[in-house]
Amino acid sequence: MDLEDGCFAVKAARKAIEAEVLGASPELLFPPIFDRESGVFVTINTYPEGDLRGCIGYPDAVFPLKDALVYSAQSACHDPRFLPLTKREAEECTVEVTILTPPAPMDKAGLPQNIEIGRHGLVIQFGRRRGVLLPQVPVEWGWGPEEFLEQLCLKAGLPTDAWKLKEAAIFSFEGEIFHETEPNGIIVRG
């Protein structure tokens, strides 16, 4: 996705967030590139601190990108880890959109050394439990590949070494990240 489309994605997510906190429906007209199915996450951060305020998305391509983007933005306002986002917070937060490649199975024999920090996002599937961490998360926290896997397990509500078990499936994906530099500010890639 080029920068122009990435900027549009972030602006659309912001409009969906602002409409959600007002109890309204966003009125958005998307370019055709947003008709393709794609996984996406919308992250809301406090500004200027950069603390997480909400992050919800779809790792799998189950909806057209335009729908997944709006659903993710609306849902991020109600991330269960936090109180619902207020209108004032929405105005003062920054918005980030991560557009994902389809998750692909990883060869567990090559773990953790085949994980590229900053490039790979991870999904663990273990029975009915599932956890997802975006590619930027281990960079932000300074994790190496093994700690990334351990934190992924914790996110799924599993023991930290569950990724080693035969029943655990590990998938990787990549993400194109676009974010505001300040609330309603310039949008950049990465």
- From the options 3.40.50.360, 3.30.700.20, 3.40.50.11540, 3.40.50.300, give the CATH code of 3-101+175-189: 3.30.700.20
pTM for this model (two decimals): 0.93
Buried b (16+ CB within 10 A) or exposed e, 127-158: eeebbbbbbbbbeeeebebeebbbbbbebbeb
Phi-psi label, residue 32: left if phi above 0, alpha if psi -120 to 50, beta otherwise: alpha
* DSSP states along 66-77: HHHHHHHHHHHT
Q: pLDDT grade, residue 137 (50/70/90)?
A: very high
Q: What are the extents of the domains in the chain?
A: 3-101+175-189, 104-173
- What percent of the chain clears pLDDT 90, i.e. is strictly above it? 99
Q: pLDDT grade, residue 79 (50/70/90)?
A: very high
Q: Does domain 104-173 have CATH number 3.10.129.10?
A: no
Averaged pLDDT for residues 96-103: 96
Distance, C-alpha 144 to centroid of its chain = 19
Q: Residue 143: what pLDDT?
A: 98
